[in-house]
Amino acid sequence: MEIFMEGLSEQYSQHRLILVMDQAAWHRTSNLKKFENIRIIYLPPYSPEVNPTEHLWEHIREKYLRNGFWLSMETLEDMPEKALVLVEKSKQIVQGLVGFHWTLV
């Protein structure tokens, strides 16, 4: 988690970020380094219906990983990253997947 957040912080170093996360143990560990440009908001426990990430991963599984065949584990591991890059470039897809009424203010 810390490696991900470090990369995110560096990638968007000129921005203030808000991460909305569930309360999984690896999200709440006291050892997690704090980043000046990242604020974390935790969702209530047992509430996947309000977790935008669940919808994003469902989209990636259905559109990019469903019934696929990969020649190597490396090729399979690269696919989610490529999918995230494509999704990130489309504001309409992002809003459609994670744009709950309570996030679009």
Q: What is the pLDDT of residues 22-75, one digit of tens each?
A: 888 777 777 788 899 999 988 888 777 777 778 888 888 898 888 888 889 998
What dihedral do alpha carbons 5, 40, 21, 42 form, nearest 10°?
160
Bridge partner residues of 29 (DSSP): none
Residues 67-99: pLDDT tens digits? 888 889 998 888 888 888 988 898 888 888 877
Clarify whether residues 55 and 37 are in a common domain.
Answer: no
Residue scoring higher pLDDT (94 or 5): 5
Handedness of CA 15, 3, 64, 101 (dihedral sign): negative
**Model pTM score:** 0.53
Please check whether residues 31 and 21 belong to one and the same domain. Answer: yes
Give me the number of domains the chain comprises: 2
Domain region containing 3: 1-45
**Whether residue 56 sits in one domain with residue 104:** yes
Q: Are residues 81 and 99 in the same domain?
A: yes
Assess whether 52 and 37 both reside in one domain.
no
Regarding whether 102 and 51 lie in a shared domain, the answer is yes
Judgement on whether residues 33 and 55 belong to the same structural domain of the protein? no
